[in-house]
């Protein structure tokens, strides 16, 4: 039975369908007795945590963590217990935002601009703007740090957060906003993002909102206030796990605060709240027996919590849906909910038919509800793990109760997930009896057939999403609204030049700037002059410098005086893998010309010196204030 409240809500949507037009966000609905009732499209709050695995919830049987607010939110939501994302951050975010598998969006990896999502991709906030929504992103972006790839270029009216793969200090630093300005902050990042999101949502506005609150926690570095650390430290965990759980509990606490504030501000009763995480756990810890962690295509790397809680008495709330679903489904589901057309070129599908089904009525074989359910259960859901260059492996595909894994070029695996959630028994065809007289032959033959089908479907689909020639886009100097920051880790080290950390993760810098120097691919359609600021470190007795090799053919020298950068003290609970934040020396020059073209901005050292490090080169148009 549908509740009266739900019926009214459905009526409103139906009415919207009949009268819809762009930017229309409310409509009068005629009810019995000629009473006109003003009804609004629902607000949408999407909360996404970073590196929180499926086991990092007390709801999921983890006795070492307390997550009452996340548990409650998920329990009250339509939950999908087989919900899949990508193995790492940026591809998952691109899929949540676009409804497409990450390779199609360009956001295939996590650093060196391989996380950049194509600017032509339509995102949830871009779609929702057409229905009159105001849109805000608070926290991590990780789909491009320069225009036209930044949050404000991809549909967000407001933004406070960071565009790189991680922010390297939870308590101090410079956040970015929608004007591409650096905003100094000190305090607790988790609290600041919560407060900023709350202020945005509580604004006195007639327009519905779409707020995306993308916490960095519990991504490393392991930093958390004493209050949360102290609560976890007596549970007998390693320092790392103590810190990770404390960070999750700090988010849990803030989610509780946030929902309370929305309730007090009379916003919650018209707000859809969605909760999920972006990949498996960032460490080997409790994960409901699933195989794999962040970065892996197995269940533990990509199966995450997901819940969507409708306002009021929606019949889907409180149900646990066993049907496989994925990040790619969020866009079509939300478009369906607000009655915007769902584009045909999406990989995801709307979950609304499942959510709106009258489960009490039951289904019979052959009726429309039954075939709908079968189509949801037996759909193929793909997971790709891509590095700098495309390979179809490792990857995996779920279909019905089966999981196919392409581990290596010719390494195939098949698991029956219903009885083997831990992926311990590989059923792929070459593991099975081939003698027709073997009593196991019939079962083996079925597995062989499923193996072959899934292998072929995986290969065929992968060929349609693969972009083997994809390169990170050049940095567009024309699209910038303000200075363009050429960060070391977004450039290319040449020759002997290398990064402080091996891979050039977010926030890294060039050390040992060798003879070949380093370069950034850039594009501009207009010849301009710039003021250039270099952030550097020079541990030497005498002056050195960098020489710019712009496409004008005129070398430009910038003298760098000896100056040591300083490591900024941080409150890490455990030693980090990533680089530590530093305070850098700066040197500037004016009147630096770059001609129009698709080119590279190269810098080389005046004299190669192991003590010369480069953090960034900032280009500011000379005529900009
Ligand atoms: Ca992540």
Residue 580 alpha carbon to ligand 1 centre in Å: 19
Residue 199 alpha carbon to ligand 1 centre in Å: 26
As a whole number of angstroms, the distance between CA 395 and CA 382 comes to 7
Residue 571 alpha carbon to ligand 1 centre in Å: 21
Residue 459: CB atoms within 10 A of its CB come to 13
Residue 97 alpha carbon to ligand 1 centre in Å: 15
- DSSP 8-state class, residue 358: -
Question: Which has the closest alpha carbon to 186: 211, 156, 223?
Answer: 223
Which residues in 540-566 are b (16+ Cβ under 10 Å) and which e?
A: beeebbbebbbbeeeebebebeeeebe
Residue 90 alpha carbon to ligand 1 centre in Å: 8
* pLDDT for residue 364 is more than 90: no
| Average pLDDT of the segment spanning 435-450 | 85
| Average pLDDT of the segment spanning 518-525 | 96
Q: What is the distance between the terminal CA atoms of the chain, rounded to a whole angstrom?
A: 63
* pLDDT, tens digit (0-9, with 9 covering 90-100), for 405-442: 999 999 999 999 999 999 999 999 766 677 778 888 88
pLDDT of residue 387: 85
Residue 580: CB atoms within 10 A of its CB come to 15
Name the more confident of 298 and 7.
298
Instruction: Determine what percent of the chain is predicted with pLDDT higher than 90.
Output: 83
* pLDDT, tens digit (0-9, with 9 covering 90-100), for 259-279: 999 999 999 999 999 999 999
Contact (CB, 8 A) for 80 and 68: no
- 475-621 domain in CATH 2.60.120.260? yes
Residue 88 alpha carbon to ligand 1 centre in Å: 5
pLDDT of residue 20: 27
Q: Tell which CATH architecture fits domain 383-465.
A: 2-Layer Sandwich (3.30)
Q: Could you tell me the fold of the domain covering 44-356?
A: Alkaline Phosphatase, subunit A (3.40.720)
Residue 327 alpha carbon to ligand 1 centre in Å: 14
pTM score of the predicted model: 0.92
pLDDT of residue 512: 87
pLDDT of residue 431: 65
* pLDDT for residue 15 is more than 50: no
Give span(s): CATH 3.40.720.10, the chain.
44-356
| Average pLDDT of the segment spanning 298-307 | 98
Residue 389 alpha carbon to ligand 1 centre in Å: 20
Give span(s): CATH 3.30.1120, the chain.
383-465
pLDDT of residue 363: 80
Residue 573 alpha carbon to ligand 1 centre in Å: 19
pLDDT of residue 622: 86
């Amino acid at each position: 039975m549908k509740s009266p409240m739900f019926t009214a809500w459905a009526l409103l949507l139906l009415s919207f369908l009949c009268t819809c037009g762009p930017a229309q966000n409310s409509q009068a609905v005629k009810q019995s007795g000629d009473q006109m009732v003003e009804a609004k499209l629902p607000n949408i709050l999407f909360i996404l945590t970073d590196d929180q695995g499926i086991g990092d919830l007390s709801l999921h049987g983890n006795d070492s963590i307390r997550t009452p607010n996340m548990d409650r939110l998920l329990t009250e939501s339509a939950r999908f217990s087989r919900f899949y994302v990508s193995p790492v951050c940026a591809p998952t975010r691109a899929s949540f935002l676009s409804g497409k598998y990450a390779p199609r969006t360009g956001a295939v990896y996590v650093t060196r601009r391989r996380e950049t999502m194509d600017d032509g991709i339509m995102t949830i906030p871009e779609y929702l703007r057409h229905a009159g929504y105001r849109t805000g992103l608070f926290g991590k972006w990780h789909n491009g740090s320069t225009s036209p790839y930044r949050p404000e270029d991809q549909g967000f009216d407001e933004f406070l957060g960071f565009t790189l793969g991680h922010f390297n200090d939870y308590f101090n630093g410079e956040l970015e906003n929608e004007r591409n300005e650096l905003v100094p902050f000190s305090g607790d990042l988790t609290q600041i993002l919560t407060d900023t999101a709350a202020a945005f949502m509580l604004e006195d506005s007639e327009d519905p909102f779409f707020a995306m609150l993308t916490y960095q926690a519990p991504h490393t570095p392991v930093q958390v206030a004493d209050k949360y650390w102290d609560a976890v430290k007596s549970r007998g965990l390693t320092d790392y796990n103590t810190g990770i759980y404390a960070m999750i509990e700090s988010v849990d606490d803030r989610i509780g605060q946030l929902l309370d504030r929305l309730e007090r501000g009379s916003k919650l009763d018209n707000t859809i709240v969605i909760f999920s995480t972006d990949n498996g756990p960032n460490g080997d810890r409790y994960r409901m027996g699933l195989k794999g962690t962040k970065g892996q295509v197995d269940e533990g790397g990509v199966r995450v919590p997901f819940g969507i809680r409708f306002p009021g008495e929606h019949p889907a709330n409180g149900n646990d849906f066993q049907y496989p679903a994925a990040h790619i489904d969020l866009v079509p589901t939300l478009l369906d909910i607000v009655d915007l057309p769902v584009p045909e070129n999406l990989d995801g599908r709307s979950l609304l038919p499942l959510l709106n089904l009258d489960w009490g009525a039951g289904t019979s074989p052959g009726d429309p509800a039954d075939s709908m359910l079968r189509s949801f259960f037996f759909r193929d859901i793909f997971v790709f793990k891509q590095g700098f260059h495309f390979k179809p492996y490792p990857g995996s595909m779920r279909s019905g109760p089966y999981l196919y894994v392409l581990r290596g070029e010719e390494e195939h695996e098949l698991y029956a997930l219903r009885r083997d959630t831990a992926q311990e028994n590989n059923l792929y065809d070459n593991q099975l009896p081939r003698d027709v007289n073997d009593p196991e032959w019939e079962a083996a033959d079925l597995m062989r057939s499923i193996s072959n089908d899934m292998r072929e479907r995986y290969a065929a689909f992968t060929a349609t999403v693969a972009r083997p020639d994809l390169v990170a886009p050049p940095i567009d100097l024309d699209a910038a609204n303000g200075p363009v920051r050429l960060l070391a880790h977004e450039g290319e080290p040449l020759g002997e030049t290398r990064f402080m950390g091996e891979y050039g993760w977010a926030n890294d810098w060039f050390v040992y700037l060798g003879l070949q120097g380093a370069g950034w691919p850039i594009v501009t359609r207009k010849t301009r002059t710039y003021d250039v600021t270099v952030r550097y470190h020079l541990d030497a007795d005498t002056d050195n410098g960098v020489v710019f090799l712009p496409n004008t053919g005129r070398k430009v020298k910038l003298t760098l005086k000896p100056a040591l950068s300083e490591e900024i003290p941080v409150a890490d609970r455990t030693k980090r893998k990533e680089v530590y934040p530093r305070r850098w020396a700066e040197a500037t020059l004016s009147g630096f010309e770059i001609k129009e073209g698709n080119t590279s901005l190269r810098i080389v050292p005046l004299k190669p010196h192991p003590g010369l490090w480069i953090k960034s080169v900032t280009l500011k148009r000379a005529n900009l204030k």
